[in-house]
Amino acid sequence: MSIKPGILLFILSYFAYPATAQLSILPIFDGRPIAENTWYVSTKGDSVQFDNIRFYLSNIQFEMDDNTWIKDTVSAHLIDVFEPASLHIITQKIDLKRLKTIHFNLGIDSLINVSGALGGDLDPQKGMYWAWQSGYINLKIEGRSPLPLRIFYPHHLCF
């Protein structure tokens, strides 16, 4: 990944509903929550503004204190930083007192990438699929920076 460490940070927190677990994602940049039409200063001193940040969280698994693993029923969630509903992932029921670790992938793994036409958040209609060379776009960051030019810089990654 070519994003400098410390510039973007996703905090994952969770709390209990009576029946399900909810993972909430708080996207922050340089210590401040990421908002639209807001200028941020990177560690390198560049001003940046974000228009679009979307990425996949996939294969969420809960490791319990007896070393059993519980898999999320949905294989991948599309997170859109400017779409508040997508920042809260409701998963199946788990006993939070026994939860040891949450595992997840940022992006899409090679298995999903060769599985043909998928639906839901993985529908290519969501704009997170490369057309000319098969595979999902794991992370999309688009925004602007005044230097050297006020241009839109698409930053798409697949790793």
Partner 1 sequence: MPLVIPKGWPKPVYDFSKNPLTKEGFELGRQLFYDPILSRDSTISCASCHLQATGFTHVDHDLSHGIDDKVGTRNSMTIMNLAWSKNFMWDGAVNHLDMQPLAPLSSSVEMDEKLARVIQKLNNAKKYKALFFSAFNDSLATGQKMLLAFSQFTLHLNSSNSKYDKYIREEAGGTFTDQEKNGLQLFRKHCASCHPEPLFTNQNFEKNGLPIDPTLNDLGRFTITRMPVDSFKFKVPTLRNIQFTFPYMHDGRFKKLREVLNHYTETDELKAQIVLSSNEKADLIAFLLTLTDNDFLFDKRFGFPKD
Q: How far apart are CA 18 and CA 20, in angstroms?
A: 6
Q: Which residues bind partner 1 (CB under 8 A)?
A: 113-119, 122-127, 129, 131-135
Alpha helices in the chain (DSSP H): 110-113
Quote the least distance from Cβ 35 to partner 1, whole Å.
25
Quote the CA–CA distance of 156 and 89 in Å, as a whole number: 23
Q: Looking at beta carbons only, is 38 or 115 nearer to partner 1?
A: 115
Residue tagged 């998928």 (tokens): 118
**Residue 121 CB, nearest distance to partner 1 (Å)?**
11
Q: Smaller CB distance to partner 1: residue 8 or 78?
A: 78
Residue 7 or 74 with smaller CB distance to partner 1: 74
Burial class (CB within 10 angstroms; exposed 0-12, middle 13-18, buried 19+) of 42? middle
Least CB distance from residue 31 to partner 1, whole Å? 35
Whole-number Å distance between alpha carbons of 58 and 23: 13
**Minimum distance between the CB of residue 120 and partner 1, rounded to whole angstroms?**
8
In the complex, the smallest distance separating the C-beta of residue 133 from partner 1, rounded to whole angstroms, is 5
Shorter beta-carbon distance to partner 1: residue 63 or 109: 109
Q: How far apart are CA 85 and CA 73, in angstroms?
A: 18
Rounded distance between C-alpha atoms, residue 88 and residue 134, angstroms: 29
Closest CB to partner 1 among 101 and 115? 115
